[in-house]
Structure 1
Amino acid sequence: MKLFISWSNPHAQVVAEALRDWLKDMIHALEPFVSSLDIAKGERGLATIAHELEGSRHGIICVNRANQNAPWLNFEAGSISKQVETSRVFPVLIDLPGSDLQGPLREFQYTELFSERDMLRLVESIWEACPDPNINLIQLRKNFSRLWPELMDALEETKETPSVELASAQEARSAEDKLDELLGLARQNQRRIDSLEGASFTGQPTRRRQRKQAADDFWLTTPNIDEALRTLDEINKRLAEEIGKPISLTVERPNKIVALVPAGLRIQSQSARTLGELAQSRGLSLHFRRTSAESAENVEES
């Protein structure tokens, strides 16, 4: 049985990688997937992740205080849970109690990572979901008792080091720049609208007033700024992983993001579609644009 293990930030990555090996040792019929370990060199990361998400009905979401609202984490959880009747999403809480869990992940029954009793229940739930686990319940519990100390040893440092909750000064500066860009675009749009209003022609003022109202409504329905900035950061990171280098993202409207792809770089259509769905899930639209004619065959405008 395929088991997708999702993480977002290095603190959760350590947990995801440890759970992958630990669960595989306990239930050999499992096929756990962790993006940091199971994407071969030379493969397209986003395309591989998209393929694994499509084929996985069960997933573990490694959650800490710093990433519980991360767009990518919630996007992967949402992708797994699309098959409502047959899928299972297991949030595993690293450094926060269930009472502090926020956002869409609150809908799912969670597991506290460092609770032995809670983790045994998680393992039994995964075993029950496995069509052919090749192990009975008694042996499963024996394996758990044997392997539990190994997991705790592997995560000892993680337990003592809470996830980072505050962004670095550089990340904060980047977020502030993006916010300034969003506000600047809003002001530009308003100036254009005011200019159109001042140059109105006979018989057309009503239409232009309607256009102005539509533009105002458009800005008012823009997604939460914090969520928009988090989504921009996630898209930046995923694109950098996909093509091996960062590329420029611009904001042409309050909810339209344009990724500028240099000549010679290729982004697979499946990867572009996955990132587009991520942006759409946050009320944004993502478009790819070539920076020169030389790259015309590499990226499709979306």
Structure 2
Amino acid sequence: MKVFLSWSGEKTKSHAVAKALDDWLPTVLNAVEPWVSSRGLVAGLQWNQQLDKELDDTTFGIIVVTPWNQHSQWLNFEAGALSKRVGGAEARVAPLLVDFPNVAKLTGPLSSYQVVLPTNAGIHSLVVSINEALGDAARKFDALERAFDVCWPSLEAKLKKIDVDFPSEADPATAPSPLPAAADGDDMLSEILTAVRGLARSDARLRSEIRQNAANRPDPDRVPRTHGVVVDRPLGALTKRIAHEITTMGHRVEAIRRGPNGQVTVKLSQRLSDEQQKEVVDGLDWERLHINSLYFDEDDLGDESSA
């Protein structure tokens, strides 16, 4: 099971603790596969694509929060993304509070989650929660207790060493305050989200153009006219994902059909302009979703599959 370790700041206590958990968690729970970006990102590939793929495969998320990064827009962005990918289950997104005297000192969006402290009791409760998320691969309670008792001292030693290695973060009272809102009302989180979406769309557009050239398709806009396709019933995983991604673009999907050769027809709640249709087409990852053609049905789909 994939456990996503979120941190902020390259040479910070947050990053050091995330790396310590990356090494330690599999010693307690063999079925757990931690992922931390400083180790998992592959050189030469776009970071946003890799991050999106890892989030797709994630079942549990740990966010390493310190007084120095609790107002980080990127950390809060990853927390929201994690929550959505694991079905919005807050029990599977756990902020780990480092250098907080108590949980009441955490402010902002992260305070809405069930937080833990890096103590014996706190890490134990975190391990129990991860073990419950493993389902059939979970360890029995007695075996888990023995494994934790054996492994805890090594993590405790690492955490103490991290305290010594980062003297600049020894006094939480000197941590920075949250950044003021921008004059135009847009915050950094919105800017990050816009940038990520822009990168994803540019990448999807480039791959679409490559596929078009290879297949010698005559239509450069790739928004063909509507015609019927075979109904895919019940909705498969890919069909659901296509509907979900179109929904995240701000369009409500009323029905969707998927044909046997990657032909997809969608019916939206509102008629889209040509520009909006092109934005949807370019925003989808055709290769990952196995789409060969996409149609917008503005009439009744008849015997349709609801999204």
Normalised by the size of structure 2, how large is the TM-score? 0.55
DSSP 3-state at the match of 1:41: coil
1:152 aligns with 2:162: no
DSSP 3-state at the match of 2:128: helix
Distance 1:123 1:147 in 2: 12
Distance 2:127 2:89 in 1: 20
The offset of 1:86, in angstroms, is 8.3
Who is 1:108 aligned against? 113
Aligned counterparts, 1:81-230, within 5 A: 81-82=83-84, 83-85=87-89, 88-96=92-100, 97-113=102-118, 115-133=119-137, 135-160=139-164, 161=167, 162=169, 165-166=175-176, 219=184, 222-223=185-186, 227-228=187-188
The offset of 1:40, in angstroms, is 2.5
Seen in structure 2, the aligned counterparts of structure 1 residues 101 and 41 have a Cα distance that, compared at 3 Å, is same
Who is 1:7 aligned against? 7
Seen in structure 2, the aligned counterparts of structure 1 residues 87 and 124 have a Cα distance that, compared at 3 Å, is closer
Distance 1:134 1:166 in 2: 40
Seen in structure 2, the aligned counterparts of structure 1 residues 98 and 107 have a Cα distance that, compared at 3 Å, is same
Instruction: Give the paired residue count.
Output: 195
Q: Sequence identity, in percent?
A: 32
Seen in structure 2, the aligned counterparts of structure 1 residues 130 and 95 have a Cα distance that, compared at 3 Å, is same
Distance 2:29 2:71 in 1: 31
Distance 2:204 2:130 in 1: 33
Amino acid at match of 2:111: R
Who is 1:70 aligned against? 72
The offset of 1:45, in angstroms, is 2.0
**CA offset digits 1:52-108 (Å, max 9, x no partner):** 112223200000001111111111111121212586111100111201001111111
Amino acid at match of 1:35: S
Amino acid at match of 2:53: H
Amino acid at match of 1:165: A
Distance 2:139 2:49 in 1: 33
Query: Which structure has more helix as a fraction of its residues?
Result: 1
1:16 and 1:34 in contact (8 A); partners too? yes
Who is 1:29 aligned against? 31
Who is 1:198 aligned against? none
156-165 or 48-57, which moves further after superposition? 156-165
Who is 1:61 aligned against? 63
The higher-RCO structure (CA 8 Å, 6+ apart) is: 1
The offset of 1:133, in angstroms, is 2.8
Normalised by the size of structure 1, how large is the TM-score? 0.56
1:95 and 1:159 in contact (8 A); partners too? no
1:47 and 1:268 in contact (8 A); partners too? no
Seen in structure 2, the aligned counterparts of structure 1 residues 17 and 122 have a Cα distance that, compared at 3 Å, is same
